[in-house]
Structure 1
């Protein structure tokens, strides 16, 4: 069976939740194709970034069926991905950083179950060194409930 027939067959026999997940996936492919997102993971997670001030940004991730783990809450790895992406993005924007930053170390503390309509990560620069940027991040849901906190160290890429 070719891929087109497979997709049609799947869609015709899909549940409402599967259709919702397919829509999120299709929208993410469109965003990447239209270059509205730098990475497939950012478009799949529907990440939106807002620079709050020079040393702080917020990154929002709406909840979707794609994020659930087997017990119906957001998978911890996706919460960690949100933290890593938000902190890494902010580390890439610090003065003296021209090419971006990559994660050297990431420590995540999961504090409460990841439930809610959306998850907002606030990433803040703790220290901007010559080669390393030290970051802190916190993820809350739309009601302000603290879900996870993290610290991370990011290496500035050279020219």
Structure 2
């Protein structure tokens, strides 16, 4: 069976929830195609980034059925992905960084269940060194409830 037949067969037998998940997946693939700088995971999780200044960034992730764990709340690994991506994105844009940054260390504290319509991560530079950037981040839902916090260290890639 080729991929088109397999896809059509899947759609024919899908529940409404599976169809909604498939629609989210297709929309994320379209978004990636239109914006080649976007990663597949950022596209799938529908990240929206706002650089507030050289030391402060906000990244938003809307809730969707794709994010749920078996308890019906946002999977902790996806909350950690939001934190890592927001902190790393800001670390890649600090003054003196020309190539980008990669995660050296990330410590996440999960403080309350991931419940809400959207999750907003606020990332902040703690220290911008010659090779390393030290970061802090907090994830809150749209009501301001603190979901998770993190600290991270990022290595500035050489040119």
TM over 0.5: yes
**1:67 matched residue in structure 2:** 67
1:47 aligns with 2:47: yes
Q: Which structure 2 segments of 5+ residues have no match?
A: none
After TM superposition, give the deviation of residue 36 of structure 1 in Å.
Answer: 5.7
After TM superposition, give the deviation of residue 25 of structure 1 in Å.
Answer: 0.4
**1:29 matched residue in structure 2:** 29
1:31 and 1:37 in contact (8 A); partners too: no
2:54 and 2:95 in contact (8 A); partners too: no
Distance 2:84 2:13 in 1: 36
**1:11 matched residue in structure 2:** 11
1:37 and 1:43 in contact (8 A); partners too: no
After TM superposition, give the deviation of residue 54 of structure 1 in Å.
Answer: 2.2
TM-score under structure 2 length normalisation: 0.97
**SS state at 1:70 partner:** coil
Aligned positions of 1:90-129 closer than 5 A = 90-129=90-129
CA deviations over 1:32-70 (Å, ceiling 9, x no partner)? 111265210000000000012221000000011110111
1:51 and 1:57 in contact (8 A); partners too: yes
Distance 2:61 2:88 in 1: 16
**Compared with structure 1, are the counterparts of its residues 36 and 118 closer, same or farther at alpha carbon in structure 2 (3 Å cutoff)?**
farther
Aligned length: 159
Root-mean-square deviation (CA, aligned residues, Å) is 0.9
TM-score under structure 1 length normalisation: 0.97
